[in-house]
Amino acid sequence: MAGKGGATPSTYAPSPTTQKTKSLIFGNDDVDWVRSDGREFHQCRPAFFKTGAVNCASGSAYAEFGNTKVIVSLFGPRESKKAMMYSDIGRLNCDVSYTTFATPVRGQSCLGKNLVIDPILEEESYQDGSLMLTCMPSRYEVTQLTITGEWSTPKVNEVRQIADLFFVVLYQMLFDQRTSDRYF
Amino acid sequence: MGLPDGSGDLLSEMDGDAFRRLFPLQFYESHFVKSTRPDGRSLTEARETSSALGAVASADGSALVKIGSTTMLAAIKMEVMTPPTESPDEGCIAIDFHMPPICSPTVRPGRPADAAPVVSKQLSDTILRQVNCHSGMVNLKELSLISGKAAWMAYLDIYCLDADGALFDAALLSAVAAFSHLQIPVVSMNDEGKVVVMSEEQGGKEAVNNGKRKLTLSSIPFSLTCILHKKYILADPTAEEESIMETLVTVVLDSSGQLVSLYKPGGPVLAYTSVIQDCVALTRQRARELQAILDEAISGMEVD
């Protein structure tokens, strides 16, 4: 809805074009650049979890990786109106949406000769390839693996080792949160 | 004990939660006669309210507001447009209110919430109210950059993260808070005639809007929604109260106490003059509380 009558006029963001800044971020030498937030290549951003973020939901959580912030709500279980006959399998209906002012960040990426994990958006836009790995630490099972771009076998193995460590830490955080909730 | 009918005996034996689910209206009324509400509030008391500025790093102005469990996230992104020929030295504000499926069990993915366009329209009517560019909250002339060539378009998006009643009140407060947090970027005109954000190494260029980073907010609107039920007036209803008792009155007053809007969308209860006067008086009191909460949030930002 525009402030004045008539159609919304076309607008543009006054941000400078990102291509120009690429050389500033990475320098000339591919090996020696510094991540814009001062992290090491294999270092994740500070993470924060909280369960019970949305009061009216049956279950909910808030998660934060640096400036990336996500809220999840779970509703139900409800009776399925589509089911024509009895079934002993339920359905999980997922819906993901971004706010208009959010900039999405996801996955892990490879840049130059180096592995960079937990990239910020700026870094993602210059990636040569990305790898996303989802796993269930309690069962030591990989549930999802997405690879784009060029990846050599040693590089993939390197990611697996980093991810193993990372998941153990995240899992512990989530577990601590759940136990502390129980006492409040 | 001495209850006239059989159902009364049933009610007295039933435990609280079952009573609340089966006979919600009786459950609420049993509290109202004691001048209290199930959540411990008095009838005319609003829920605890908080406001945090600057929640969204990617926006030019933002605020997270909570009234009880009702949560609103508002953010403003500034973009540049060519102003329309009939108002060459004015900018524009576009307001949108969103209710994503996470906020309530009644909103399903893929189907827009019924309440969202209503609240969106109410917000636009309240915030963009312009009488000769004077009595509105934002003077659109302050959004002008170069007369006839470039002006700001402020995109204000408000997301409901938790819908527990009084959505308009929380949305309006978050919108006002986001505008008070707004820092307009310092921009200059580049060689192609485009307006771009000034970067530090760009010393030679002259800024178009030096010293105009904050908007002057005059006559800030504050609102309070009340439920009318029988002889009772309930301020700041929860979602459960709104679903059981359907007559709502929303009053918006500006910071000088003048009436901006009065909204009573039907409902079974008809409002007498005295009831409307009571609602306005409650809103006046609430506006002072909200102004204090907003001032505190702003001064908290200045300390940082």
Per-residue pLDDT at B48 exceeds 90: yes
- Cβ contacts (< 8 Å) between B62 and chain A: which residues? 101
The CB density around residue A118, as the number of other CB atoms within 10 Å, is: 21
Selected residue of A58, A99, A103, A120 to mutate for chain B interface (largest B Cβ count, 10 A): A99
* pLDDT tens digits, B243-252: 999 899 999 9
Phi, psi of B202 (to 5 degrees): -95, 60
pLDDT recorded at residue B304: 56
Nearest to B181 by CA among B272, B284, B302, B85: B302
Which domains does chain B show, CATH number per domain?
A: 44-303 (3.30.230.70)
pLDDT, mean of residues A31-55: 82
- The mean pLDDT of B94-106, rounded to a whole number, is 93
B197-222 per-position pLDDT tens digit: 876 655 556 777 776 788 888 889 99
Task: Classify residue B101 by its DSSP letter.
Answer: G
Measured CA to CA, the distance from residue A79 to residue A84 in angstroms comes to 12
CB contact under 8 A, A56 and B104: yes
In Å, how far are B1, B5, B33, B193, B196 from B13, measured between CA atoms? 11, 13, 20, 77, 71
Provide the shortest C-alpha distance from residue B270 to chain A (in Å): 30
pLDDT tens profile B229-288: 999 999 999 999 999 998 999 999 998 889 999 999 988 999 889 999 999 999 999 999
In this predicted structure, what is the pLDDT of residue A31?
59
What is the phi/psi pair of residue B100, to 5°?
Answer: -70, 160
Beta bridge partners of B223: B252
Tell me how far apart the alpha carbons of residues B99 and B157 are, in angstroms, rounded to a whole number. Answer: 11
Q: Which of B57, B101, B103 sits opposite A95 (nearest CB)?
A: B101
Q: What pLDDT shows up at residue B225? A: 97
Domain boundaries of chain A, sorted by first residue? 47-79+110-181
Rounded Cα–Cα distance for residues A182 and B45 (Å): 31
**pLDDT class of B41 with cuts at 50, 70, 90:** very high
- Supply the pLDDT for residue A103: 58
Confidence of residue B51 (pLDDT cuts 50, 70, 90): very high
The span from the CA of B266 to the CA of B247, in Å, is 7
ipTM score here? 0.76
